Homo-oligomer: A and B are copies of this chain.
Amino acid sequence: MNIQQKIVVIGGSAAGPKTAARARRLSEESEVTILEKGPDLSMASCGYPYYVGGVFDERKMLLCTPTGVVRDPSFFMNAKGINALTSCEVISIDTENKQVHYRNNKTDEVSSVSYDKLLISTGSTPRIPPVQGTDLDGITTLQSIKDADYLKKIKDDNRVKKAVVIGGGLIGIETAEALELAGIEITIVELMDQILPFLDWEIAKLVENHLKSKGVNVYTETGLDRFIGENGKLTAVKLKSGTEIPCELAVIATGVKPESGLAKNAGISIGEFGGIIVDEYMETSVKDIYAAGDCVEIKHRITETQSYSPMGDLANLQGRIAATNMVKGNVEKYSGTIQTGICKIFDFAAGSTGLNERCAEKSGFEYETVVNASPDKPGFMSGKLLVSKMIVEKSTGRLIGYQCAGPGDVSKQLAQAAIAIRGNLTVCDLKDLDLPYAPPFSLAIDHFIASSHIMENKLKGMLRGITARRLREMKCKNIGNPFILDARGPDEYETMRLGIGEVLIPLGQLRKRLIELPEDKNREIICFCKISLRGYEAALILQSAGYTNVKVLEGGIMAWPFEREK
């Protein structure tokens, strides 16, 4: 057998094995080697929270093929023809002589392997806040399978009563859910003014409310002062505010940073996020050395700036492309990320694709937003609520961002939006999408299409919106003097209401009761209902009656993230 090329892969988690397997499939003749510093290969690390939470109990499932074969070195050798070396930590890359030096962590023996093409997929490491006490017993991250084992044991031992999760990002929330399900009282501490920073504030607030409804304590805008311990064991988390939260366990989930030291030491260019810089072929600044996964920075498709997007799916897709280019020469381009992310939160899901409003603003886009609250399916099919926020570029109507949260089918909504963004679709394209409709699966006008209809109405000036956050601010700070109109029925009003001084006039009576509206036709009027469809119709009636400053509370009561009177 002719050995065509020597392909070496550093890192055996996601991007590495994918690259190695694809390289093998593209070239049965090449010699393919994986060097992994830990004991395991191809760990399903995104599954750790669900293992810890007891969604499944067989640890093996994190390390197995779907048919139950452990992905160990002998599997890689026999099934894939790949030489996978575990417990082998790379010390340095000699780019001159195209050699990789590594140490066997079991024997301390140092060896070298030469390469024609090299992939660096060294992943990421957790950020640890620079505070006192991080070395106490009872403090962990959820990054490695060792971490997962540690937390799983805590769950199974049933000894820990209180835990604090530092960081309200994706991993923090997933970990909080897992531990809460294990019967542990959870407090999440987040430095920013919201959890899940990929969402805009008002959508994140809905998720926060849901977490709280499940018994999770959430502190936002709260700095961590230090960890407090006795006899080397964690006893409390102290916040900058002075508050101490007693706990036996703390999980640090304040994000990850690219593990790019090895590349840097080899003279490979590193970017603004500390990640390895790659071109569109996933090749680094040094010829024949490629990189993929959590250790790289990649292009954001919409802003065309660098981004750091450490996601398991992207790692796999990048690895596949890197492999193609390593074997075939640079023939396949990676198109970049739109930073799509999703997260399960008990009976909720929440996620984002493309730009959120903060990013759109920061990137200098002129944009319009729509908040839509409506179910995923008809009521008679037990449809569940979705609250979404659509963001389009004003000049072109092009979709540039979409967020969604709620108990409904969030994942499908986000997938639709992600592909619409990929296709550069505009509001005009979305308005008559031919989607799979039947009552068990969606509304006749799908939530996503409905959002585009509302957007079209806004862009054409038929509808002026106001966000819940802005209305609340106006009320709290006594800004303006809006007349607030609830267009629902009296029975609905009795069951649930905002209680911010609104006046109830059911839509069906509005045309006859215009006399009850303010005399001043220029006074600001804000209309709403449960989801603000009737609110919208009320606004149109008022506009037609000569009112000049009529707005609709976007998403109605269902998107109102603050406390209600009832």
| Contact surface of A with B, Cβ cutoff 8 Å | 14, 25-26, 28-29, 44, 46-47, 50-51, 55-56, 58, 61-62, 64, 66-67, 69, 75, 78-81, 170, 174, 301, 311-318, 320-321, 334-335, 337-344, 349, 351, 353, 375, 378-381, 409-412, 414-416, 418-420, 422-425, 429, 431-442, 444-446, 449, 453, 462, 488-489, 492, 507-509, 511, 530, 534, 536-537, 540-541, 543-544
With contacts A44-B378, A47-B380, A441-B411 taken as known, whether A508 is within 8 angstroms of B79 at the C-beta atoms is: yes
A29 CB contacts on chain B under 8 angstroms = 544
- Chain B contacts for A80, CB-based, 8 A: 537
Contacts of A351 on B, CB cut-off 8 Å? 436
Residue in contact with A419 in the complex, picked from B25, B47, B433, B488, CB distance below 8 Å: B433
| A340 CB → nearest B CB, Å | 5
- Candidates B420, B437, B453; contact of A313 at CB < 8 Å: B437
Bound-state Cα–Cα, A344 to B436, Å: 11
Name the distance in Å between A408's Cβ and chain B's nearest Cβ.
12
Which residues of B have CB within 8 Å of A418? 433-436
Q: Is the CB of A50 within 8 A of B312?
A: no
What are 22 sample pairs from A and B whose C-beta atoms fall under 8 A apart?
A50-B440, A61-B379, A64-B379, A67-B488, A67-B489, A78-B508, A79-B537, A312-B444, A313-B437, A313-B446, A316-B445, A317-B431, A317-B445, A337-B434, A340-B435, A341-B438, A342-B438, A344-B441, A411-B436, A416-B416, A422-B425, A423-B429
**In angstroms, how far is the closest chain B Cβ from the Cβ of A450?**
10
How far apart are the CA atoms of A61 and B420 in the complex, in Å?
33
Write out the residue numbers on chain B whose beta carbons fall within 8 Å of the beta carbon of A343.
438
- Chain B residues in 8 Å Cβ range of A453: 320
In the bound complex, residues from chain B placing their C-beta under 8 Å from that of A338 are 434
| Cα(A454)–Cα(B415), bound, Å | 20
A51 & B434 in contact (Cβ 8 Å cutoff)? no
Q: In whole angstroms, what is the CA distance A444 to B509 when docked?
A: 52
Smallest CB-CB separation from A315: which chain B residue? B444
Q: Specify the chain B residue showing the minimal Cβ separation from A341.
A: B436
Shortest distance from the beta carbon of A363 to any chain B beta carbon, whole Å: 17
- Cα A62 to Cα B380 in complex, Å, equals 8
Q: Are A66 and B434 in contact (CB under 8 A)?
A: no
CA distance A419 to B339 in the complex (A): 19
Asked if A436 meets B340 with Cβ closer than 8 Å, knowing A419-B419, A441-B411, the reply is yes
In the complex, chain B residues whose CB is within 8 Å of the CB of A462: 25-26
Q: Which residues of chain B have C-beta atoms less than 8 A from A410's C-beta?
A: 436
CA distance A397 to B51 in the complex (A): 40
CA distance A55 to B381 in the complex (A): 7
Chain B residue nearest to A78 in the complex (CB): B508
- Choose one: B51, B315, B380, B423; the contact of A422 (CB below 8 Å): B423
A56, A316, A436, A488 interface centre (most CB from chain B within 10 Å): A436
Task: Check B437 against A66 for contact (C-beta < 8 Å).
Answer: no
Are B434 and A425 in contact (CB-based, < 8 A)? Answer: no
B432-A507 in contact (CB<8A): no
User: Please, how many angstroms separate the alpha-carbon atoms of A141 and B540 in the complex?
Assistant: 41
CB distance from A512 to the nearest CB of B (A): 9
Known: A422-B429, A423-B425, A431-B317. A441 touches B540 (CB 8 A): no
Contacts of A438 in B (CB 8 A): 46, 170, 174, 341-344
Q: Which B residues touch A174, using CB under 8 A? A: 438
A439: chain B residues within 8 A (beta carbon):
44, 46-47, 50
